Structure 1
Amino acid sequence: MLKIVREIPRLIAPDDRRRIAWLLPLMIGASSSDVIMVLGASAFLKAIAHPERYFATFGIGYLSPSGAGITMALGMLVMVLLSNAVSVFATHRLSQFGFRQQTFLSEGVLGSILRRPYPWFLHQNTAVLKQHALVETGRVVQAQVVLSLQIAARALGALTIVAYLLWEEPVVTTALGISLSTFYYLLFTSLRRTMRTYGERRAAADRQRSHIAHEALLGVKEIKLHALESSVLKRFHEPNVEMASALTIQSTMTRIGKPALEVVGVTGLVLIVVFFLATGRPLDGVLVLIGSYAVAAYRLLPTVQQGFAWLMRLQAEAAAARIVLSHIDAPLPTLTGAEPVTLEHEIALEGVRFTYPQTEQPVLEGIDVHIPRGTWVALVGSTGSGKTTLVDLIMGLLQPDEGCVRIDDRRLQDLADAAAWQTHIGYVPQSLFMSDTTVAGNIAFGQDVPDMDLVRAVARMACVADFVETELPQGYDTPIGERGMRLSGGQRQRLGIARSLYRKPELLVLDEATSALDNRTEAAVVDALRENFASTTVIMIAHRLSTTRYCDQILVLERGKIIARGSYDDLLETSAYFRTLVEASNEAPAVREAPAEPDASDTVSPVLLEELGDL
Structure 2
Amino acid sequence: MSNNKISNWLIFKRLGQFVKPYKCIFIIGIICLSFVGTLMPSIITMVKPVMDIIFASSEVIVIPFLKYEIPRDAAVNFLALAIISLALLKGVFDFFSKYLMAYIGQHVTMDIRNRLFGHLVYQSLEYYSNNPTGQILSRITNDVKYLENSIVKIPARFVRDGLMLIILLGMIIFFNPKWALMTILGFLLIILPLVLFSKMLRNLGRKGQQRMADIYDFLSEKISGVRLVKSFSMEKEEQKEMEKANKRFISLVLKSEKIDAFQGAFIEFLAISGVALAIVTIGGAVIRDSVTPGDFFLLLGYIVALYTPAKNFAGLNQELQKSLAAAERIFEILDEKSPLVERSNLKILKDFNQSLEFRDVSYRYGDGDLVLKNININVPHGSIAAVVGPSGAGKSTLINLVPRFFDPVSGFIAIDGKDIREYTVRSLRKKIAMVMQDVILFNMSVKDNICYGLGEFSDDEVRKYAEAAYADMFIKQLPDGYDTIVGEKGVKLSGGQKQRISIARALIKDPEILILDEATSHLDTESEKLVQDALDLLMKNRTTLVIAHRLSTVRNADKIIVLEDGKVREEGRHEELLAIPGLYRRMFEMQSI
Shared fold (TM-score greater than 0.5)? Answer: yes
Q: Secondary structure at the match of 1:338?
A: coil
- Alpha-carbon distance in structure 1 between the residues aligned to 2:438 and 2:534: 23
- Alpha-carbon distance in structure 2 between the residues aligned to 1:349 and 1:151: 60
41, 47, 56: which one aligns with 2:53: 47
Aligned residues: 583
- Alpha-carbon distance in structure 1 between the residues aligned to 2:282 and 2:404: 82
- Alpha-carbon distance in structure 2 between the residues aligned to 1:447 and 1:171: 77
8 Å contact from structure 2 (residues 37, 159) kept in 1: no
Residue 197 (structure 1) aligned with residue 206 (structure 2): no
Equivalent in the alignment of 2:497: 491
- Name structure 1 gaps, 5 residues minimum: 588-615
- Alpha-carbon distance in structure 2 between the residues aligned to 1:110 and 1:481: 22
Q: Deviations over 1:86-108 (max 9, x none)?
A: 21221121112112121122222
8 Å contact from structure 2 (residues 503, 535) kept in 1: no
Equivalent in the alignment of 2:451: 444
Q: 1:179 is aligned with what amino acid?
A: G
CA drift of 1:584 comes to 3.1
Equivalent in the alignment of 2:417: 409
Q: Secondary structure at the match of 1:7?
A: helix
- Alpha-carbon distance in structure 2 between the residues aligned to 1:312 and 1:488: 51
- Alpha-carbon distance in structure 1 between the residues aligned to 2:273 and 2:296: 12
Q: TM-score, normalised by structure 2?
A: 0.89
- Alpha-carbon distance in structure 2 between the residues aligned to 1:196 and 1:218: 33
- Alpha-carbon distance in structure 2 between the residues aligned to 1:6 and 1:255: 30
- Alpha-carbon distance in structure 2 between the residues aligned to 1:249 and 1:96: 33
Q: 2:430 is aligned with what amino acid?
A: T
570, 582, 592: which one aligns with 2:588: 582
Q: Secondary structure at the match of 1:585?
A: helix
8 Å contact from structure 2 (residues 190, 270) kept in 1: no
- Name structure 2 gaps, 5 residues minimum: none
Q: Deviations over 1:93-145 (max 9, x none)?
A: 11121121211222222222222233233221111011111211221231465
- Alpha-carbon distance in structure 2 between the residues aligned to 1:6 and 1:562: 50
8 Å contact from structure 2 (residues 468, 504) kept in 1: yes
Equivalent in the alignment of 1:590: none
127, 132, 144: which one aligns with 1:125: 132
CA drift of 1:2 comes to 11
8 Å contact from structure 1 (residues 60, 68) kept in 2: no
CA drift of 1:381 comes to 1.3
Q: 2:184 is aligned with what amino acid?
A: G
CA drift of 1:358 comes to 2.4
Equivalent in the alignment of 1:98: 105
CA drift of 1:425 comes to 1.4
Residue 394 (structure 1) aligned with residue 402 (structure 2): yes
8 Å contact from structure 2 (residues 209, 326) kept in 1: yes
CA drift of 1:180 comes to 1.4
171, 174, 178: which one aligns with 2:178: 171
CA drift of 1:529 comes to 5.2
Equivalent in the alignment of 1:26: 32
Equivalent residue runs for 1:508-587 within 5 Å: 508-518=514-524, 522-528=528-534, 531=537, 534-574=540-580, 576-586=582-592
Residue 4 (structure 1) aligned with residue 17 (structure 2): no
**Runs of at least 4 residues off by over 6 Å:** 58-62
Equivalent in the alignment of 2:382: 374
CA drift of 1:64 comes to 4.3
Q: Secondary structure at the match of 1:578?
A: helix
Residue 79 (structure 1) aligned with residue 86 (structure 2): yes
Residue 138 (structure 1) aligned with residue 145 (structure 2): yes
CA drift of 1:155 comes to 2.4
- Alpha-carbon distance in structure 2 between the residues aligned to 1:47 and 1:344: 99
- Alpha-carbon distance in structure 2 between the residues aligned to 1:32 and 1:430: 67
Q: Secondary structure at the match of 2:411?
A: strand
Q: Secondary structure at the match of 1:363?
A: strand
User: What is the alpha-carbon root mean square deviation over aligned residues?
Assistant: 3.0
Q: Secondary structure at the match of 1:551?
A: coil
- Alpha-carbon distance in structure 1 between the residues aligned to 2:24 and 2:288: 53
CA drift of 1:327 comes to 2.0
- Alpha-carbon distance in structure 2 between the residues aligned to 1:480 and 1:130: 23
Q: 2:410 is aligned with what amino acid?
A: E
Q: Secondary structure at the match of 1:340?
A: coil
> Cα–Cα, structure 1 residues 374 and 404, in superposed 2: closer, same or farther, change >3 Å?
same
8 Å contact from structure 2 (residues 356, 413) kept in 1: yes
8 Å contact from structure 2 (residues 503, 534) kept in 1: no
CA drift of 1:63 comes to 5.6
Work out the percentage of aligned pairs sharing the same amino acid: 22
Equivalent residue runs for 1:27-426 within 5 Å: 27-50=33-56, 56-57=63-64, 64-143=71-150, 146-181=153-188, 183-278=189-284, 281-282=287-288, 285=291, 287-297=293-303, 299-332=305-338, 334-335=341-342, 338-342=346-350, 343-360=352-369, 362-413=370-421, 417-426=424-433
Q: Secondary structure at the match of 1:155?
A: helix
> Cα–Cα, structure 1 residues 549 and 159, in superposed 2: closer, same or farther, change >3 Å?
same
